[in-house]
Amino acid sequence: MSAGKKSQPAPELPEIAKLRAECSVLKQEADRLKDIAGRAQADLQNAKERLERERQDVGRFALAGALTKLLPTIDNFQRAFRHLPEELKNNEWVNGVAAIEQELVKQVTELGLQKINALGQPLDPTRHEVLQTGPGEQGKVLEIFEEGYEFNGRVLRPAKVKVGSEERQEGQKGAAAQETAK
């Protein structure tokens, strides 16, 4: 060979070409299997997270059910104390029962139960159940017949309320107009 000529690579033997092709196919298969394994890993992680969320939801749902069952007891305590005879207000036994009621309310509040603030608020059909309308500012809650409660931002029981219908205000305007006409 002369120094000016470049040597050319030797032609590949058919066995080497076949092995390279097999190697390429195996590499593609390995890549495909890695992709499947990665997806399976991601699916597993997503399933774990979903199960944890569902477990928490079940716990919250169970607690919401228990709290809903306690609401009438809380209502009854509050009604009893609103109608307590004056001569019993300083009775030690009554004070003990009042302490039990306060502790019950404190405990359920710590669990996430919240009273719906309704009095004087604009009517919200998702949080208020209108039982009566009467003279007063249109669409404002004038009176609460039964407290409403929320748990973790979800209404457990809407407040039962009386809402203004502006009847009195119209009557007052008419009476005021009659007064100024005199």
The structure's pTM equals 0.61
User: Is the CB of residue 128 less than 8 Å from the CB of residue 57?
Assistant: no
With H, G, I as helix, E, B as strand and everything else as coil, classify residue 151: strand
Question: How confident is residue 152, by pLDDT bands cut at 50, 70 and 90?
Answer: confident
- Does the pLDDT of residue 53 top 90, yes or no? no
For the domain 115-182, what is the CATH code? Answer: 2.30.22.10
- pLDDT at residue 143 tops 80: yes
Nearest to 147 by CA among 105, 112, 103, 116: 116
Strands of 159-164's sheet, edge to edge?
A: 128-138, 159-164, 141-146
Between the two ends of the chain, the Cα-to-Cα distance in Å is: 134
Residue extents of the structural domains in the chain: 16-111, 115-182
Q: Is the pLDDT of residue 179 over 70?
A: no
Architecture of the domain defined by 16-111: Alpha-Beta Complex (3.90)
User: For residue 134, how far is the Cα from the chain centroid?
Assistant: 33
H/E element holding 5? none
- Residue bearing tokens 């495909």: 32
pLDDT in tens, 56-112: 878 777 888 899 999 999 999 999 999 999 999 899 999 999 999 999 999 999 999
d(CA 94, CA 79): 14
pLDDT tens per residue across span 100-123: 999 999 999 999 999 999 999 999
Asked whether 7 and 1 are in contact (CB, 8 A), the reply is yes
